[in-house]
Structure 1
Amino acid sequence: MKLIQQAEYLQVKAIVDIDETAPGLKLAKENNIPTYTDWKPLLNGDIQIIIDVTGNKEVFHELLANRPATAVLIPGEIANLIVSLLEEKNKYINIIDQKKMMQELIFNSIEEGMIGIDDQGIVNLFNKSAEKMTHISVGNAIGKHVHEVISLSELPRVFDSGRVELNKELILESGTKIVTSRYPMIDEAGKQVGAIAVFKDISEVVRLAEEITNLTEIQKMLEAIIYSSDDAISVVDEEGKGILINPAYTRITGFSEAEVIGQPATADISEGESIHLKVLQTRKPIRGVNLRVGKQKKDVIVNVAPIIVNQQLKGSVGVIHDMTEMRGLMKELDHARTLIRTLGATYSFEDIVGTSNEINFTIEQAKLAANVPITVLLRGEVGSGKDLFALSIHSESERANHPFLRVNCSSLEEYLLETELFGSEKDGYIQHGFFEQATNGTIFLDEVGELTKKTQAKLLRVLRENAIIRVDGATSIPVDVRIIASSSLNLEKAMLEGTFREDFYYQLNRMPIHIPSLRNRKQDIPAIAEHLLVRLNQEFGRNIEGFSEEAMGSLLLYDWPGNVRELENVISRSMIFLQPNDRIVEEHHLPKSMLVLPNEDKGETSLGTLAEQMDEMEKKVLAQTLKVCGGNKSQTAKQLNISLRTLYYKLEKYHLA
Structure 2
Amino acid sequence: MQNILIVGAGNGGYALLKLMEQADYLQVTAIVDINEEAPGMIYAKEHHISTYSDWKPLLSGNIQIIIDVTGNREVFQELLVNRPATAVVIPGEIANLIVTLLEEKDDYIQIIDRKKMMQELIFNSIEEGMIGIDDQGIVNFFNKSAEKMTKMPREKAIGKHVHEVIGLSELPRIFETGSVELNKELTLESGTKIVTSRYPMINEEGKRVGAFAVFKDITEVLRLAEEITNLTEIQKMLEAIIYSSDDAISVVDEEGKGILINPAYTRITGFSEEEVIGRPATADISEGESIHLKVLQTKKPIRGVNLRVGKQKKEVIVNVAPIIVNSELKGSVGVIHDMTEMRGLMKELDRAKTLIRTLELSYSLKDISGKSKQINFAIDQARLAASVPVTVLLRGEVGSGKDLFAHAIHSESSRAPHPFIRVNCSALEEHLLEKELFGFEENGLSQAGLFENAEHGTIFLDEVGELTKKTQAKLLRVLRENIIIRVGGSSSIPVDVRVIAASSLNLEKAMREGTFREDFYFQLNRMPIHIPALSERKEDIPIIAEHLLVKLNQEFGRNVEGFTEEAMDSLLAYDWPGNVRELENIISRSMIFLQPNDRFVEEQHLPKSMLAIENKDDDEPIGTLAEQMDEMEKKVLARALKASGGNKSQTAKKLQISLRTLYYKLEKYQLV
* TM-score relative to the length of structure 1: 0.50
Bigger radius of gyration? 2
